């Protein structure tokens, strides 16, 4: 059985500046270049899933502006079903101001725009399309109360709920954890959730235990070039990172979640799904931008074949 993938989340236009280094407070910096690229954690995960061959539907909002049209087109061109994406004419589209430096590090400031208006009417759309064989991908760039309600609906139906707690939350409700099948923070987000810094392997292990005790079933902590740690109810293991020539890490975490979800949608077990996530994340760092860095299935299969 192939599971369908539903992404309920944010859609942004990324305004990306390449700079020699990330600016310090008060610093005026000359950059090298500027581009606009479709992004948003939700839309990136949707585009990543669809390009890898997942049957993918997006639920969310764009604004009634030119950015909104561009964002919808990018989703559609990548094969994402967008019938449930609302054009909200009361507000502008979400934007993210991104600086990427010579070391491929980035800073991101997100202005929610239409994403901040996602509400109960969007939940009704979710309810009408979810089944017990769906995989629901959530992030935290829409109101967290709505995220929790979405997780509750999916949990009750028996769908698989994968929550990426990004951007790092300051107000993550304890009642949300038991609704999550797979929680996928990076080290910064995990530290924010558990309340202690994550600096070494034993911190990672301890953080996963704390998050499981809070009620999430499986914890995946994304550690960039150090790989990704997975703790399920039965096993704990580290999936090593693929070695690639990284030029831009924007959306690498989204690409990871897309790879993970598509693998699960095709019936693969968690170890293999982690490898797919790692491969998808690594490949995305070899190209610039968010949705522009997400690869299609044949490139992905070729990469996995070459780097077993």
- Cβ closer to ligand RIB: 96 or 231? 96
Which listed residue (44, 49, 184, 239) binds ligand RIB by CB under 6 A?
44
Structural contact between residues 162 and 257, judged by C-beta atoms closer than 8 angstroms: yes
Name the one residue in this structure whose structure tokens are 């299609």.
296
Q: Does 254 bind ligand RIB (CB under 6 A)?
A: yes
Structural contact between residues 94 and 10, judged by C-beta atoms closer than 8 angstroms: yes
Cα gap 170→255, rounded to integer Å: 24
Cα gap 208→246, rounded to integer Å: 27
Q: Does 39 bind ligand RIB (CB under 6 A)?
A: yes
Told to judge if 65 belongs to the known catalytic residues of this protein, a careful annotator would answer: no
Q: Does 110 bind ligand RIB (CB under 6 A)?
A: yes
- List phi, psi (to 5°) of 115: -60, -35
Q: Does 96 bind ligand RIB (CB under 6 A)?
A: yes
Q: Does 141 bind ligand RIB (CB under 6 A)?
A: yes
Cα gap 223→187, rounded to integer Å: 6
Regarding beta strands 33-39 and 56-63, do their DSSP bridges make them parallel or antiparallel, or are they unpaired? unpaired
- Cβ closer to ligand RIB: 98 or 191? 98
Which segment (25-33, 38-46, 143-151, 275-283) binds ligand RIB by CB under 6 A? Answer: 38-46
Is the previous residue joined to 194 through a cis bond, with omega within 30 degrees of 0? Answer: no
Q: Does 40 bind ligand RIB (CB under 6 A)?
A: yes
Query: Could you tell me the smallest distance in angstroms from the CB atom of residue 307 to ligand RIB?
Result: 24
Which listed residue (72, 159, 193, 250) binds ligand RIB by CB under 6 A?
250
Which listed residue (190, 290, 294, 295) binds ligand RIB by CB under 6 A?
290
Q: Does 251 bind ligand RIB (CB under 6 A)?
A: yes
- Cβ closer to ligand RIB: 144 or 268? 144
Cα gap 87→173, rounded to integer Å: 29
Cα gap 148→172, rounded to integer Å: 10
Cα gap 266→283, rounded to integer Å: 20
Residues at the contact surface with ligand RIB, assessed by CB under 6 A = 10, 12, 14, 39-41, 44, 96, 108, 110, 141, 250-251, 253-254, 290
Q: What residues act catalytically?
A: 254
């Amino acid at each position: 059985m192939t599971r369908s993938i539903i992404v309920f989340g944010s859609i942004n236009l990324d305004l990306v500046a390449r700079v020699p280094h990330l600016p310090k407070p008060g610093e005026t910096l000359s950059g090298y270049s500027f581009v606009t690229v479709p992004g948003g954690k939700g839309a990136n995960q949707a585009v990543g899933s669809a390009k890898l061959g997942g049957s993918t539907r997006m639920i969310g909002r764009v604004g009634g502006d030119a950015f909104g049209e561009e964002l919808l087109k990018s989703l559609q061109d990548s094969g994402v079903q967008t019938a449930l994406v609302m054009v909200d004419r009361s507000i502008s589209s979400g934007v993210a101001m991104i600086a990427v430096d010579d070391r491929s590090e980035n800073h991101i400031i997100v202005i929610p725009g239409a994403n901040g208006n996602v509400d109960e009417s969007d939940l009704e759309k979710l309810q009408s399309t979810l089944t017990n064989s769906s995989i629901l991908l959530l992030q935290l760039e829409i109101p967290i109360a709505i995220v929790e309600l979405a997780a509750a609906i999916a949990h009750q139906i028996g769908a698989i709920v994968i929550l990426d707690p990004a951007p790092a939350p300051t107000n993550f409700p304890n009642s949300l954890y038991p609704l999550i099948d797979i929680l996928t923070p990076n080290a910064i987000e995990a530290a924010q959730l558990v309340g202690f810094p994550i600096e070494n392997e034993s911190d990672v292990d301890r953080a996963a235990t704390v998050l499981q005790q809070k009620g999430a079933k499986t914890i995946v902590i994304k550690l960039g070039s150090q790989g990704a740690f997975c703790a399920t109810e039965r096993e704990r293991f580290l999936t090593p990172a693929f070695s690639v020539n990284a030029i831009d890490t924007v959306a690498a975490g989204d690409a990871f979640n897309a790879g993970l979800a598509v693998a699960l949608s095709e019936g693969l077990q968690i170890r293999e799904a982690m490898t797919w996530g790692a491969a998808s994340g690594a490949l995305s760092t070899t190209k610039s931008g968010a949705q522009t860095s997400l690869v299609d299935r044949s490139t992905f299969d070729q990469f996995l074949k070459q780097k077993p």
